A and B are shown apart, each in its own frame.
Chain A
């Protein structure tokens, strides 16, 4: 199935907005996680955990799912394909990995935020912060961004076969 040019641009626009928004939301989450680690003020730590929960469920999760779905539509609906070029395939694998880890990690964040709502003093500071997941996630999303902008050349064996088949059919 090939998208019409107008529809392709629409889906691509949504995909870009979701992907860039995802990166921005992760940066906001990272700032909250950093505040939870470094702050000595109990209300600030409590607010940071609540903010992480809200940012995660309300922004990061919808944007991640939106980016994954629109990315699938854009790749499958255009000649790029999903398995033809290494940069598309690696971007897809990294996006799926980030989304799965995010969905597995968010219940933990919710549990921590629930504890932070009721905890005080030492119990609150024992919660710590959350820097590992958003840090690695941000790094992977930046890798995906670089791949999508530079589009380094290189067919997969499947893409090479398909390219040759289409070349042969156009010659005959």
Chain B
């Protein structure tokens, strides 16, 4: 049996469509807590174990270690600056002397 095709602009509201709409409206949305909270992550992974150190913290830590090593190499490789300078008298510490400058009269 062939169903008559609706014309454009004609609204066809069958019982089946009404059921589908009611089903969509009545279905409760998942009640997840905000992103990033422990409960949210726990719900995703189905566990409450610590998820580990974030990647940005690891990258930050690597950058800090590299900069510290560079600083230590400079300080021990003939550089004039080190934190110990601050603990000595303040007369000659921690400053780069000016280049040869001729004072103006």
Find out whether the CB atom of A164 lies under 8 angstroms from the CB atom of B98.
no
A residues touching B (Cβ–Cβ < 8 Å)? 36-37, 40-42, 45, 86, 90, 101, 104-105, 107-112, 115, 121-122, 124-133, 152-155, 157, 160-161, 163-164, 167
Q: How far is the CA of A42 from the CA of B104 in the complex (A)?
A: 8
Find out whether the CB atom of B90 lies under 8 angstroms from the CB atom of A107.
yes
Could you list 22 examples of A-B contacts with CB < 8 Å? Answer: A36-B98, A40-B102, A40-B103, A42-B103, A101-B86, A105-B94, A108-B95, A111-B89, A111-B91, A112-B90, A121-B103, A126-B97, A128-B97, A152-B54, A152-B56, A153-B36, A154-B57, A155-B38, A161-B50, A164-B48, A167-B37, A167-B38
Find out whether the CB atom of B95 lies under 8 angstroms from the CB atom of A128.
yes
Closest to A171 in B: B39
A-B residue pairs, 3 tightest by C-beta: A111-B90, A154-B54, A163-B38
- Chain A residues near B36 (CB-CB < 8 A): 153
Closest to A115 in B: B91
Number of chain B residues close to chain A: CB under 8 A: 32
Tell me, yes or no, whether B53 is within 8 Å of chain A by CB. Answer: yes
Q: How far is the CA of A124 from the CA of B101 in the complex (A)?
A: 10
Q: How far is the CA of A155 from the CA of B39 in the complex (A)?
A: 12
- Chain A residues near B94 (CB-CB < 8 A): 105, 108, 130, 132-133
Tell me, yes or no, whether B87 is within 8 Å of chain A by CB. Answer: yes
9 further interface pairs, Cβ-Cβ under 8 Å (given A40-B104, A127-B97): A37-B96, A109-B90, A111-B90, A121-B103, A125-B101, A125-B103, A130-B94, A153-B36, A164-B48
- A104-B87 contact, Cβ under 8 Å, with A40-B103, A122-B103, A152-B54: yes
Query: Which listed residue, A41, A104, A130, A152, touches B95 by the CB 8 Å rule?
Result: A130
Find out whether the CB atom of B56 lies under 8 angstroms from the CB atom of A110.
no
Q: How far is the CA of A42 from the CA of B101 in the complex (A)?
A: 10
Find out whether the CB atom of B96 lies under 8 angstroms from the CB atom of A129.
yes
Q: How far is the CA of A37 from the CA of B98 in the complex (A)?
A: 6
Find out whether the CB atom of A129 lies under 8 angstroms from the CB atom of B104.
no
Q: How far is the CA of A112 from the CA of B57 in the complex (A)?
A: 39
Contact with A along B21-43 (1 / 0, CB 8 A): 00000000000000111110010
